[in-house]
Amino acid sequence: MSARKYPAFPIAAVSALVRSPEGIALIKRGYPPLSGYWSLPGGVPESYESLEEALLREVKEEVGIDVEIGRVLSITEYLEIDDEERVKYHYVIITFECKPLSYKLRAGGDAIEAIWLDPVKALGLELTPTTELVLKALLTGRGGYLGMVKVKTGG
C-alpha cells in the first residue's frame, strides 16, 4: 500500500492553471485517484522539493512544457472515504497560475492525454471535482480557499 493511500495526515499537492491563447492545459489522469478524469497538471512534491520545484517538474512530466510560475490562485482539498468510512485519500491542493514558455503539449508521466481547452468548454468534460471548483472560481474571479470535496467510494 502506498503512503498516499490511507494516509495518516493530509498530503500537500500542487496544480498548475496554465493559460495560453488556446485555453488552459488539461490532462486526462492515468492513475487513481480519479483515473480517466480530466484535471489540471500537478502532483505531490518529493521530500526534497519545494512546492515550486514540484510544480515545474510535474508540469514538464505531464504536459511536456516549461512554465513561469505566477501567484497562488486557490487552495482546495480532496477527501475520499472508502466503504468502511476510512480516509482513502486526503490531498490539500495549492493551485498556481502559470504562463507557458512553449505551447506544444505532450502527455507523459501520470497523464494519458494533454490538451488546450477553453475553460468554459472544459466544464463540459468529466473533471476531477477539485479542477471543477478551480475552473468555476476562475470564471467568477474568486480565489483563496475554495473548500473541500468529499467523495465516498468503495474500498
Confidence of residue 86 (pLDDT cuts 50, 70, 90): very high
Residue 66 has which C-alpha cell?
516549461
Residue 113: active-site member: yes
Largest CA distance in the chain: 46
Catalytic residue among 22, 52, 68, 113: 113
End-to-end CA distance of the chain: 13
Task: State yes or no: pLDDT of 155 exceeds 80.
Answer: no
Residue 144 has which C-alpha cell?
483563496
Task: State yes or no: pLDDT of 123 exceeds 70.
Answer: yes
Task: State yes or no: pLDDT of 140 exceeds 50.
Answer: yes
What pTM value is reported for the model?
0.95
Q: Rounded mean pLDDT of the chain? A: 96
CB atoms near residue 132 (< 10 Å): 19
Contact call for residues 67 and 101 (beta carbons, < 8 A): yes
Q: What is the mean pLDDT of residues 126-138?
A: 97
- Contact residues for 144 (Cβ-Cβ < 8 A; gap 6+): 74, 75
Contact call for residues 50 and 69 (beta carbons, < 8 A): no
CA angle 67, 106, 77 (to 5 degrees): 60
Q: Which residue in the block uniquely carries the three cell numbers 499537492?
A: 13
**Percent of the chain scoring above 70 in pLDDT:** 97
Q: What is the per-residue pLDDT across 35-78, written as a single tens digit (0 to 9) for each?
A: 999 999 999 999 999 999 999 999 999 999 999 999 999 999 99
Please give the pLDDT value at position 1.
45
> φ, ψ for residue 89 (rounded to 5)?
-140, 145
Confidence of residue 3 (pLDDT cuts 50, 70, 90): confident
